[in-house]
Amino acid sequence: MLTEQARGVCRDRSLRLSWLPLLLLVAVLAPSFAGAQTVVTNPTTLVFAPSADHEARLSDGRLKVDYYRFDVFAAGASQPFQSTDLGYPTPGSDGLIHYDFSSAIASWPLPGGNYVSRVSAVGPMGAGVSTLSNPFTFTSTSACSCSLSGTSASAP
């Protein structure tokens, strides 16, 4: 798996983040040269490095990271159209967190749009936010048709 390292922005110094960029994937795709971003088509899995404070505790014993949030944006938008609480997932044997988001998104905009995402580590002292992911898109994999007549209606 080829990735390019990036640093997250943190609103609170107690929630330091050191992220690998988000990878939304069907297959992991990396930029082919510095600065280029590959558009991933039909991704289903989110893969990211946990916060450097994933297991750290505050002086009162509480975890510094309560949960992770996955935000999906239309490319160029400043506000996400979908936010999903990922809970507090356990990193895999590779040290990364893998999350299948295919059923977690309530409603996708129409296929053909371009999207980006980010993950936030949220805790009692604030949130650390990753850099934006590579762009991704969805294509329609099946024909959609509907019909309506005076006596019946059908839809996929």
Q: What is the pLDDT of residue 138?
A: 84
Q: Name the residue among 26, 33, 27, 104 with its Cα closest to residue 70.
A: 104
Task: Say whether pLDDT at 69 is over 80.
Answer: yes
DSSP, collapsed to helix, strand or coil, labels residue 55 as coil
Tell me the per-residue pLDDT of 138-148, one tens digit each, with 9 for 90 and over.
886 555 555 56
**Does residue 53 lie within any of the structural domains?**
yes
Domain that holds residue 22: 6-140
Tell me the per-residue pLDDT of 34-54, one tens digit each, with 9 for 90 and over.
345 788 888 889 999 999 999
Percent of all residues in the chain with a pLDDT value above 70, rounded to a whole number: 62
Instruction: Give the mean pLDDT of 5-15.
Output: 37
Structure token digits, residue 68: 């992770």
**Does residue 156 lie within any of the structural domains?**
no
Residue 37 burial by Cβ neighbours in a 10 Å radius (0-12, 13-18, 19+): middle
CATH number at residue 110: 2.60.40.10
- Rounded Cα–Cα distance for residues 6 and 27 (Å): 20
**Does residue 50 lie within any of the structural domains?**
yes
Q: What is the number of structural domains in the chain?
A: 1
DSSP string, 105-129: -S----TT-EEEEEEEEEETTEEEE
Q: What is the pLDDT of residue 146?
A: 57
Q: What is the pLDDT of residue 131?
A: 94
- Rounded Cα–Cα distance for residues 5 and 101 (Å): 23
**Does residue 149 lie within any of the structural domains?**
no
**Does residue 154 lie within any of the structural domains?**
no
Average pLDDT, the chain: 75
